[in-house]
Chain A
Amino acid sequence: GAVVSQHPSWVICKSGTSVKIECRSLDFQATTMFWYRQFPKQSLMLMATSNEGSKATYEQGVEKDKFLINHASLTLSTLTVTSAHPEDSSFYICSARDGASGPYNEQFFGPGTRLTVL
């Protein structure tokens, strides 16, 4: 299957700082990328859908000014957690869909980024 990478794999930061997470599709062009968040013992929750060259679509309850998404190229999307607080500590996972294969093909998941805010 296609490969999606995330960087960093884990990050620890102080409260109030901003953290940027990168999601890259390594061997395909991802017209759409998705950002999920997973708290311990809970399911993956979709935060936003990112389309290359346009604004991201955020799910209900997700603050777009706090979670900034940029999808400037077909292989890279970034999620910036601004002014992070301890309640933002979570496992952030991106997925990417190969646009060339049609709208209903598989999403490939990155390995996730574990964020801990002190």
Chain B
Amino acid sequence: RKEVEQDPGPFNVPEGATVAFNCTYSNSASQSFFWYRQDCRKEPKLLMSVYSSGNEDGRFTAQLNRASQYISLLIRDSKLSDSATYLCVVRYGGATNKLIFGTGTLLAVQP
């Protein structure tokens, strides 16, 4: 079983749609959680951290359920520029500070 699992998609949605991505992680000792965005043939870029209380940044809302080991990302009013791969990322605690990446969910926003 992969440590971080995501639906690979692709998710093809029209502009203005709301789309949700889900992610599960297997290591209960995971301490920090993130969503990254990766454009084709580029490096990943931090989209937002995910907090236990849930957090919002403009059109993006992230949720964390530690009991279910489940993370979500909701994108409202999708834009063409949102088209990218969204990576669910988990960090283990301790001195290693390792990031474990999911395989990503591909989003294609259509005009």
Contact = CB atoms under 8 A, between A and B. Distances in A.
Interface in A96-118: 97, 103-104, 106-107, 109-112, 114
Q: Is the interface of A mostly helix, strand, loop or mixed?
A: strand
Given A43-B87, A43-B104, A107 B42 contact: no
A19 interface: no
Given A42-B103, A43-B87, A43-B104, A104 B46 contact: no
A44 B44 contact: yes
Interface string A39-58: 00111111001000000010
A28 B31 CA distance: 25
Interface string B95-109: 111111111100000
Interface of B: 4, 8, 32, 41-46, 87, 91, 95-104
Interface of A: 1, 32, 34, 36, 41-46, 49, 57, 91, 93, 95, 97, 103-104, 106-107, 109-112, 114
